Structure 1
Amino acid sequence: MRWDIFCQIVDNYGDAGVCWRLARSLSSIHGQTVRIFCDNLPTLNLLASGVHVDIKDKIQLLPWESSFENHRHQAQAPDVVIEAFGCQLPERYLAGLLVAPKKPIIINLEYLSAEPWIVDFHGKSSPQSHGIPKYFFFPGFQDQAGGILIDPVPPSSPPSISSIPASLEKVWSQLRPHAKRISIFCYPGAPLRKWLEDLASLDQDFDILLTHGHAELLGINTGQAIQLPEHIQLHPLPFVSQDEYDWLLSQCDFNIVRGEDSFVRAQLAGKPFIWHIYPQEDRAHEVKLAAFLDLYLEGANQDLRLSTIAAMTWAMPSQWFGAIDAWSAHGEAWRAHLLKKQGGGGLAARLLAFVG
């Protein structure tokens, strides 16, 4: 089938990351024909960089405006149209759908959530005045929800160090063999300076891997750099592609992530992590975080529950880092649980089954 995915980037990398990963899953794993229309093509191209040419060539990455002339030829008519995260289709594109000989299915792909109510709304129709069928599709962790994006499935054990991506070789050569590695990818509002200063109070060596843009948040190269003792070393990273970032997560002992795509990949890396969920004015993000933690920590003992909740709500590391070994074991078990629950291909496979 032909799939058109529309992506308006709100959270910079996260929205584009989900759309790109979904497109590559549909095309490379499931043999579908996919186009992405994006209002910020440079960001999308950055995330897709470094991917093998055989994968990238199967997907058309197009500017938003190019969708306006989409239906002059019947061969270009899509079977499925995805409004990623509820973005509105361009009026001229929608007009083309109305006159197309074959009407597609429109999918309103929502944000990932662990909230129980999504099960009741997942897959429900959304009647439209124009008559083209439209449905809500809710990604989620429950069996009755839309699944999560698991492709490409990470290896069951950490990759060989010989597989270091070229973009990370220089930084990797500077890391200390016995230091714990922490990657950081968070929003500017995080108490990052205070968090690192508290981390320095622990009697351990840490190599801190700062994803692109985070060195500036800490004043590096601006004359206001954070001052840390020698056992805490900061390593600014270049911008890396999606696959390279996946590799980075798998090689760290602890990860701080944000947005939807890195949130899922941190779980599939099987490591402890902090999800810096996108803050919302009505504090709805707190409800979403609590719903996820209810699932994530189901069956965990009280000490691990308290430590994990403290970490996820930005308590200082000295208050919970003593539980890191138990949390690491839990992370590996959660990864295995996710892959078992998503058997058959996760979100992309469930989408195919739904529209088929």
Structure 2
Amino acid sequence: MRWDIFCQIVDNYGDAGVCWRLARSLASIHGQEVRIFCDDLPTLNLLASGVDPAIKQKIDMQPWDASHSNARHPVQTPDVVIEAFGCELPERYLAGLFIASIKPIIINLEYLSAEPWITEFHGKASPQSHGIPKYFFFPGFQEEVGGLLLDPIPAEGHLTDNEIPKDLKVAWSQLRPGAKRISIFCYPGAPLKKWLKDLGSLGEEVDILLAHGHAEQLNLYGEQPVSLPKNLQLISMPFVSQDEYDWVLSQCDFNIVRGEDSFVRAQLAGKPFIWHIYPQEDRAHEVKLAAFLDLYLEEASQELRLATIAAMTWAMPSEWFGKLGVWDAHAKRWRTHLLEKQADGGLPARLIRFVA
């Protein structure tokens, strides 16, 4: 089938990351014909850099305006149109769909959630005055909803020198043998300076891998630079592609992630992590986080539940870091659980079956 995916980037990487991973899975694994129309094509291209050219050339990546600027309607009417995260289709593109002899199906691809209510709304029709069928599709962890984006599934195990991506060789050369590794990719509101100081007080050697731009964004070296003990080392990473970032998560002992795509990848890495969920004014993010933790910690001991909830709500490391070994074992079991629950192919496969 022919698929058009519309992606408007709200957060710098998350929306683009999900759309690219979905397009890649549909095209390279399921043999679908995919176009992406994105309002920030340079960011999308950065995330897709380093991917096997044979995979990338299967996906037609276009600027947003290309969906309607060259003709009154799409050159080829798609079978499926995806509005990623509820973005509105360009009016002129939609007008082209009105006059098409065979109407496509429009999918409103919602944000990932573990909240129970999504099971009632997943797959429901959203009647439109223009008559083109439109449906809500909710990605999620439960079997009866839209599933997760899994591909490519990261391999477990330790790296060899030959496996280090070339963009990361400089950063990796600074790692100290025997030191724990923590990657950090979070929003500016995180209490990171205080968090790092507390981590340093534990006396353990830890190498901190900061996502591109984080040292400046979090003002770690600004007018009042953070002063850390020698057992902590801060290492700034360059901007890396989506695949390279997945690899970083798999090689760290603990990860701090943000956004929907990184959130899922941290789980597939099978390591303990903090999900710095995007804060919302109505505090809806707290409900969303609690719903995920209910699932994630369903089989955990009370001790681990308390430690994980404390970490996820930015309690200082001294309150929970000692439980990292138990948490690591739990994270590996959770990874196995996810792969079993998504053995049907997850989000792209469920989308294809739903449309069919």
Q: TM-score range by the shorter chain?
A: over 0.9
* Residue-by-residue CA offset, 1:42-95 (whole Å, 9 max, x unaligned): 111111111111111111111111101476688611000000000000100000
The corresponding residue for 1:91 is 91
| 1:164–1:346 Cα change, 3 Å | same
Q: How does 1:162-241 map to 2 (within 5 A)?
A: 162-220=162-220, 222-241=222-241
TM superposition shift of 1:153? 1.0
Per mean C-alpha deviation after superposition, the further-off stretch among 165-174 and 218-227 is 218-227
User: Conserved in 2, the CA contact under 8 Å of 1:71 and 1:97?
Assistant: no
Partner of 1:315 in structure 2?
315
Within 1, Cα distance between the matches of 2:185 and 2:147?
24
Q: Is 1:145 aligned with 2:141? A: no
For residues 232-271 of structure 1, the aligned pairs below 5 Å read: 232-271=232-271
Instruction: Give matches, 1:340-351, under 5 Å.
Output: 340-351=340-351
Q: CA deviation at 1:345?
A: 1.4
- Whichever residue aligns with residue 27 of structure 1, its letter is A
CA 1:70–1:294: 2 relative to 1, 3 Å: farther
Given that 2:119 and 2:145 are in contact with CA atoms closer than 8 Å, whether structure 1 keeps it comes out as yes
Q: What's the Cα RMSD here? A: 1.3
Kindly provide the amino acid, as one letter, of the partner of residue 184 in structure 1.
Answer: I
Tell whether the 8 Å contact from 1:71 to 1:100 is kept in structure 2 after alignment.
no
Amino acid aligned to 2:319: Q
The C-alpha deviation readout for 1:257-310, integer Å capped at 9, x for no partner, is: 001000000000000000000000000000000000000000100000000000
* Structure 2 match to 1:326: 326
1:272 is aligned to 272
Following the alignment from structure 2 to structure 1, what is the Cα–Cα distance between the partners of residues 157 and 347? Answer: 23
Q: Which one-letter code corresponds to 1:251 in the other structure?
A: Q
Q: Deviations over 1:174-223 (max 9, x none)?
A: 10110000000000000000000000011210000000111113435545
How far apart, CA to CA, are the structure 1 residues paired with 2:182 and 2:221?
21
Residues of 1 paired with 2:59 and 2:159: CA distance?
Answer: 27
Alignment check: 8 A CA contact 2:270 2:335 kept: yes
1:305 equivalent in structure 2: 305
CA distance in 2, matches of 1:162, 1:338: 29
Deviation at 1:344, TM superposition (A): 2.4
Which has the higher mean CA deviation after the structures are superposed, 148-157 or 194-203?
148-157
Amino acid at match of 1:7: C
Say if 2:68 and 2:74, in contact at 8 Å, map to a contact too. no
Judged with a 3 Å threshold, the aligned counterparts in structure 2 of structure 1 residues 294 and 73 are, in CA distance, closer, same or farther, namely: closer
Q: In the alignment, residue 132 of structure 1 is paired with which amino acid? A: I
Structure 2 residue runs without a partner (length 5+)? none
Distance, in Å, in 1 between the alignment partners of 2:305 and 2:17 is 30
The 1:314–1:170 alpha-carbon spacing in structure 2 relative to 1, beyond 3 Å, is: same
Aligned residues: 356
Q: How far apart are the structure 2 equivalents of 1:33 and 1:58?
A: 7
Query: Corresponding residue for 1:296?
Result: 296
Q: Distance in 2 between matches of 1:55 and 1:35?
A: 13
The Cα shift of 1:170 comes to: 0.7
Work out the CA distance in 2 between the residues paired with 1:8 and 1:74.
Answer: 19
Contact in 2 for aligned 1:70/1:96 (Cα 8 Å):
no
Quick check: 2:73–2:97 contact (8 Å CA) kept in 1?
no
Distance 1:164 1:309, change over 3 A: same
Question: 1:284 is matched with which residue?
Answer: 284
Q: Is the 1:70–1:93 Cα contact (8 Å) retained in structure 2?
A: no
Question: In the TM superposition, what is the alpha-carbon distance from 1:161 to its structure 2 partner?
Answer: 4.1
1:47-58 matches, within 5 Å, as 47-58=47-58
Distance 2:74 2:334 in 1: 46
Contact 2:156 2:250 in 1 (8 A): no
How far apart, CA to CA, are the structure 2 residues paired with 1:96 and 1:320? 56
Return 276-285 or 40-49, whichever deviates more: 40-49
Judging changes above 3 Å, is the alpha-carbon distance between structure 1 residues 74 and 260 closer, same or farther for their aligned structure 2 residues?
closer
Aligned partners of 2:49 and 2:227: how far apart in 1? Answer: 34
Give the alignment of 1:33-44 within 5 angstroms: 33-44=33-44
Q: How far apart are residue 224 of structure 1 and its match? A: 3.3
* AA in 2 matched with 1:5: I
Q: Classify the secondary structure of the residue corresponding to 2:274.
A: strand
1:73/1:113 Cα in 2 relative to 1: closer, same or farther (>3 Å)? closer
Displacement, 1:154? 1.1
Instruction: Supply the distance in 1 between the matched residues of 2:354 and 2:270 (Cα, whole angstroms).
Output: 29
